[in-house]
Amino acid sequence: MEIMEGAALCFESRGYAATSLDEVAARISSTKGRIYHHYASKAELFLDVYRTGMMMNFQAIEPLLEHDMPPVERLKAVLGAHVRCVIRTKAFQNVVIQGVDMLRHGTMPANEHAELAQLAELRDAYSEHFSKLLEDARAAGAIDYSRIKIALNSLFMCINGPIVWFTPREGQAEHDIEAVADECVLYAMRLLGYSGEMP
């Protein structure tokens, strides 16, 4: 995990193309040989960081998906879990975003490009959870939207925002991070026309 964490920070700060395995090794005070012991290439390491970032997201929300609660409360809970995960694993989530762009622009060799496409299917499966949450909350009359694709994309822009603009400060209190997450959820819910109570 140390290698992936170091790599995620390097990819986040410099991007895939500008990051070298030497830089990753320096970040974790290790040797490039140690990295090559686990990964055959930079691309393989990048893809593992991407996959891990997605699995972190799934692990954050899946325990809440089957909770016995009103649909809108489940939606709020899952949105909150996602935002908190995004904040706490920001470097990994930044790699996920880079991977999406790389797939769109075809900037990886064929073998790695095929794996990027498989990871995109994982993202689609993750997105499906949110589609279901939106449909259930809408059926219950708690939110409203005209087109689910637009609602879903707008929702993700809101709850993924911290990947772009949030930078944790050293020693930042946990309640400050919670407040950021709660506000992201508030805006996301208001975007969906929800007028009920929020934390």
What's the confidence (pLDDT) of residue 171? 80
* Structure tokens, 77: 């809970």
Q: What is the 3-state secondary structure (H, E, C) of 128-190?
A: HHHHHHHHHHHHCCCCCCCCHHHHHHHHHHHHCHHHHHCCCCCCCCHHHHHHHHHHHHHHHHH
Residue type, 158: C
pLDDT, averaged in runs of 10, over the chain (199 residues) = 95 94 94 92 95 97 94 97 95 95 83 87 96 97 96 95 88 87 95 87
Residue 116, number of CB atoms within 10 A of its CB: 21
Nearest partner of 52 among 6, 98, 1, judged by Cα: 1
pLDDT of residue 66: 86
Domain boundaries, the chain: 52-191
Classified as helix, coil or strand, 31 is coil
- Phi-psi region for residue 2, left (φ > 0), alpha (ψ -120 to 50) or beta? alpha
pLDDT recorded at residue 173: 83
- pTM value is 0.92
**CATH tag for 52-191 (out of 3.40.50.1240, 1.10.10.10, 1.10.357.10, 3.50.30.10):** 1.10.357.10
